[in-house]
Structure 1
């Protein structure tokens, strides 16, 4: 059965609905609780605005938010693509070279535990106030998950498959292209979906430190002016960017790896 038929069949739509109704119900519940808290005046409006007020500001300043959202999206996409490419290349080298892995892995771990917000001002000094520092921050935050997931995937190949390929005369390159990399794709996509959401955070963190555009700039300006409705609206837009990017990668995974996606979906048994 083709992937297109699987995606368009009633069973596929029912399966998708079964997966999303719980998070949708939770989101509706959170919004209802938020509205009740605002209506009961349990928290001052200037601290937590009501959902209606936040939505009204988002609609009134839609063009303003869209302009800055485009900047953050651009920085996120560039940073994510660079992190994905560099992460996969680093993982391949580490898998095929034990010396490189033993040398590079501790350095990557050390770099990962350093708070990125602490070194963000350095990138502003070195690269200025353009998109460069934001892209670098996105790369740094998104790089580690890609490396770890790809290394795990490349090492999870059945050794008997590798022995069989070697016995049949398959070279290292053909074995990688035909066996290792395809087997690592499920792990790679898992890392990519984590990395793309972190890339959004990295871009915004870079904008916090030094920028005159982007959602991070909007959040800082709204916070300084005690404009909490605009701040919440910017946070919601930021979350929406991450969700759309995550869903796009999830769809790409299902299209490129239907065998993996269908097997994973069938393995989950619903009891409630």
Structure 2
């Protein structure tokens, strides 16, 4: 227990200290009146707003945004893996689709979101569509690049032993590509939060993005920051979950 605490302190102690220092300076500057509270509310005001609106934020808007994020992420993972593996096995598919994948990332979300609203209405699927557009690319690319990475010596060895393409895929390409794929997964799950928030900003009646837009319209900066805090916390928790999954999978892989 003490060893784990010492290790955690060595890894994150300085970060925690800097965060506490920054929040203290932030609180002090706002309380001094050097920055108007309607522009940058103090951390204590944000916390109080979070407590005052906790039933609305935690009971109504957070579950909606989380549902959009999780559904969008799940569909992105399934589709991204299938497409990445398909591009790996069939080169013409890679030549045709890879440019479209790159082009999809050049389209601003703020421009494409109204189109999704026209297609899907103000239902949850318009927000999920934006989320998928945001999160799909890292999964496809990390899957495809991971399967192409290294393993030439192992590949030649298995070929001399009579291995077929499926054997190479299962025993070399998947294990060696797993770290790259998991890195893409961590990026994607954070992008999902961004995509869901953008979708809610442009057209929704529930969700943290909708709540922050409504509060910004009435100049309630503390409530806006409270919603942003929950969105950030959601992204951090999801990122840590994928990181723990990565650690477990790679530990088992080494063994």
**TM interval, short-chain normalised:** over 0.9
2:221 corresponds to which of 228, 231, 255: 228
Aligned to 1:203: 196
In 2, distance between residues paired with 1:123 and 1:138?
Answer: 11
Show the counterpart of 2:13: 21
- Classify 1:74/1:261 alpha carbon distance in 2 versus 1 (closer, same or farther; 3 Å): farther
Counterpart in the other structure of 1:105: 98
Q: Which residue of 140, 157, 161 maps to 2:133? A: 140
- Aligned-residue offset at 1:12: 4.7
1:13 to partner: Cα distance: 4.5
The equivalent position to 1:37 in structure 2, one of 25, 29, 46, is 29
Asked if the contact 1:137/1:202 (under 8 Å) is kept, the reply is yes
Quickly say closer, same or farther: Cα 1:235–1:186, change in 2 above 3 A: same
* 8 Å Cα contact 1:76/1:199 also seen in 2: yes
Map of 1:179 onto structure 2: 172
Alpha-carbon contact 1:208-1:217 (below 8 Å) kept: yes
Trace 1:62-81 onto structure 2 (pairs within 5 A).
62-66=54-58, 67-81=60-74
Distance (Å, rounded) in 2 between the aligned partners of 1:261 and 1:191: 20
Aligned partner of residue 168 in structure 2, secondary structure? helix
TM-score in terms of structure 1 length? 0.88
**Structure 1 unaligned runs (5+)?**
1-8, 263-272
2:237 is aligned with 1:244: yes
Per the alignment, residue 153 of structure 2 pairs with 160
1:61 and 2:53 matched: yes
Listed one character per residue, the Cα deviations across residues 65-105 of structure 1 (whole Å, up to 9, x for unaligned) are: 11201110110011111111111111111222222212211
Q: CA RMSD in A?
A: 1.8
Shift of 1:175: 2.2
Q: Structure 2: which 5+ runs fail to align? A: none
After the TM superposition, which of the residue ranges 170-179 and 76-85 deviates more from structure 2? 170-179
Contact kept in structure 1, 2:175 and 2:253, CA below 8 Å: no
Cα offset, 1:260, TM superposition: 7.6
Q: Is 1:253–1:261's contact at 8 Å kept on the other side of the alignment?
A: no
- CA gap of 1:99–1:68, structure 2 versus 1, over 3 A, is same
